[in-house]
Structure 1
Amino acid sequence: MSAVQVCVRCAARWPVVGAPAQWCPGCRGVLLSPTVPGRLEPAARRNFRWIARRPGTTPRAIAGPAAPDTTPRYLQMPRWGLADPAPESDEGALQTRTQRLAELAPTLLGATAVLFLLGAAGELFRYVVLLRNRTTLISPTVLAVSDAVVFTAGVLAPLVAFAAAAASVAWLLEARRTTWRRVGRADPRSAVAVAFGCLVPVVNLVWPGVFLTELARDEPGVRPLVRWWWATWVAGGVLLVVSLVWRSHDSLQARANGVVLAMVVDVVAAAVAVLTLLVMRRVDRLDLAGRPRARTRWMVAA
């Protein structure tokens, strides 16, 4: 029996005439080494594998010659190479207590901003009541509502702010750990040092800005935002001290001015909370609502 060559593309068998061929005459596929049907070839000379088929079936042949190689054309801009890679999933890993606390930071910061704005609105309403009370007797109900709003916001806002501060420190620790791990190094500052610099009064006017600046050293778009946050944070601390000192005055005008000062402090505190959330989102490459930010990609047009 004469030797044949089998095409790897269409599985057609071609008899060997003279020297073995390389390409299939039918579909231009690669031909295997010559073999004799019915004879078992040793593994050392075999560059094919046996495929078992049902009796009576024939391999599917490709009809017509192969399509010529042409330059591809697209009806719209291709998206391959322009999409961002999918973020690595950490769902399978067990979360630490710090990571779980860091996830609560955006929610607590949003609640802090809302409560401080509510407190600012209550202080503004109280100031309007004071102005009105100079010429008109104010209803006890109006006074009760004003006092309730100011008292509720004055109690809840600091409590939620303290919780948001703890969660923000946890986020800062995780963000710094991730950033330094990305470059193959460990965070040069310990967790105790970061927590001490962020939570101790007076000291925390300086060190949080330093920690964030170190975190955003390779993020040009984040560093200006960190500077704005730092300036607002220091201004809020100074205004808080001034407001506490101002309460020692007993005159009616001083008390009225204290109401305005308390309103300004609440507004600045809400701004600090929003800026803190914005810095977090920018470092995590998210927008303010927590969605992935769409990047602007520029392409050179020929």
Structure 2
Amino acid sequence: MAVSTVVQPCARCGARWAVQGRPMHWCPRCRGVLLSPAPVDAPPQRRNYRWVARPPGRPRSRETRPSSRTSAPVATPRYTEIPRWGLRDRPRRPISAPRSRLDRWTDRLIRLLTTTAVLFALSAAAEFGRYLLLMWNRTRLIEPILVYLSDWSVRVFAVLALVVALMTAVALVGWLIEARRRAYAADGQRDPRGMWALLLGCVVPVVNLLWPGVFLTELARRHDDPRMLRAVRIWWSVWVLNGVMAVVALSFRTASTLQAQANGVIFTVYTDLVATAVVVLSLWVVRSCEGLDLRGRRRLAKRWVPTGGPAVPVIEPVHPAGAGSDDADSAAAVPDPAGPAAPLAADAEVVQDVRAEAVSGADSEQEEVMAK
């Protein structure tokens, strides 16, 4: 029986099977793929397969040579979360912290401050209109419709101003808590005053004349901004003044005489105007904390820098009369880098005139000596 010289090696176990007719596709031993038939003693260039043994970690290509330099160790790849692949991947949005109702009020702070200032100004105008009616009523009668409109305008604007002022106060407390938290967090610290301490110190009557100024002063010193500290001190003074005036205005409500009631009306006008100033100053403090001016524009830093250069003589010193004309021409032609061309030309002409007078003076003196 003739032994076949054509074999089919197995790609999995490496066994070689003799071809006895039709080539096989699968290895009878390991069920691996059999390569195409080839002679047993065929040279390498005629084989359609070759076995290459490489240790782990070596490059697969023969042309590739291992680099002499060792690369720096690379960190192990890892995921911060379970990867989820799909046909259309979208980056996950950062999960924002849940916002409280106080934060929602804080977002409307600027609008609330503006509305409160307008309402207090309108309330002052309504009170002043009532005072004018009282003055007019001293000599003549007033139409009932005017009295009705005056009463309702005073009541409506006073109530609206008080309600919106309370809403603004809540928004300001929320802003104060958040601003202090950011200021202390910038230095890696935590606000030593809790939320309830800040809230009660700003809301409780009589107590709120003192503690809001203290809280704002601590915030201004954290920012190390003298302009903000000055704004806080001005706001604090007007805030205390407004509180005292509000108490005095309420005491006029219990007056029994007409003159005292009229004085209470005009004093209420002043109180509303001071309240308007408090709201505007509150807006100023908020803007100063954010690095803005009262109108919301970015403040520009003013720096004093030295200007000008070293003093340069306008007319060069006159050289002795024995100096040649070449030196004079060269001295007159040398430009001064510190000044324009026109003044330099004029200065050169002046220098030449001075030198010419000096030379002529020296020649005349020499002629007089020779004549003697």
TM-score by length of 1: 0.68
Partner residue in 2 for 1:178 = 182
User: 1:101 offset after TM fit, Å?
Assistant: 2.0
User: 1:96 offset after TM fit, Å?
Assistant: 2.0
Partner residue in 2 for 1:144 = 148
Partner residue in 2 for 1:248 = 254
1:103-114 matches, within 5 Å, as: 103-114=107-118
2:237 is the counterpart of 1:214: no
Query: In structure 2, do the counterparts of structure 1 residues 272 and 95 end up closer, same or farther at CA, with 3 Å as the change threshold?
Result: farther
Match for residue 224 of structure 1 among 216, 230, 233 = 230
Query: In structure 2, do the counterparts of structure 1 residues 274 and 210 end up closer, same or farther at CA, with 3 Å as the change threshold?
Result: same
User: 1:295 offset after TM fit, Å?
Assistant: 3.5
Q: Equivalent pairs: percent with the same residue?
A: 47
Write the letter of the residue equivalent to 2:235: W
Q: Which moved more, 1:284-293 or 1:188-197?
A: 284-293
Partner SS for 1:258: helix
User: 1:151 offset after TM fit, Å?
Assistant: 1.0
User: 1:299 offset after TM fit, Å?
Assistant: 4.9
Partner residue in 1 for 2:275 = 269
Query: In structure 2, do the counterparts of structure 1 residues 298 and 143 end up closer, same or farther at CA, with 3 Å as the change threshold?
Result: same
Q: Which moved more, 1:195-204 or 1:283-292?
A: 283-292
Partner residue in 2 for 1:195 = 199
TM-score by length of 2: 0.56
User: 1:137 offset after TM fit, Å?
Assistant: 1.3
Write the letter of the residue equivalent to 2:188: G
Partners of 2:301 and 2:160 in 1: how far apart?
Answer: 38
C-alpha contact (below 8 Å) 1:102/1:174 kept by paired residues: no
Partner residue in 2 for 1:279 = 285
Partner SS for 1:135: coil
Query: In structure 2, do the counterparts of structure 1 residues 296 and 43 end up closer, same or farther at CA, with 3 Å as the change threshold?
Result: farther
2:99 is the counterpart of 1:96: yes
Partners of 2:123 and 2:234 in 1: how far apart?
Answer: 23
Write the letter of the residue equivalent to 2:99: T
Partners of 2:276 and 2:149 in 1: how far apart?
Answer: 22
Partners of 1:42 and 1:299 in 2: how far apart?
Answer: 62
Partner residue in 1 for 2:170 = 166
Partner residue in 2 for 1:44 = 67
Partners of 2:210 and 2:286 in 1: how far apart?
Answer: 18
Partner residue in 2 for 1:239 = 245
Unaligned runs of 5+ in 1: 1-38, 47-90
What RMSD over aligned residues (CA atoms) do the two structures have, in Å? Answer: 2.2
Query: In structure 2, do the counterparts of structure 1 residues 147 and 265 end up closer, same or farther at CA, with 3 Å as the change threshold?
Result: same
Partner SS for 1:221: helix
Q: Relative CO higher for 1 or 2, CA cutoff 8 Å, sep ≥ 6?
A: 1
Write the letter of the residue equivalent to 1:96: R
Structure ID, larger Rg:
2
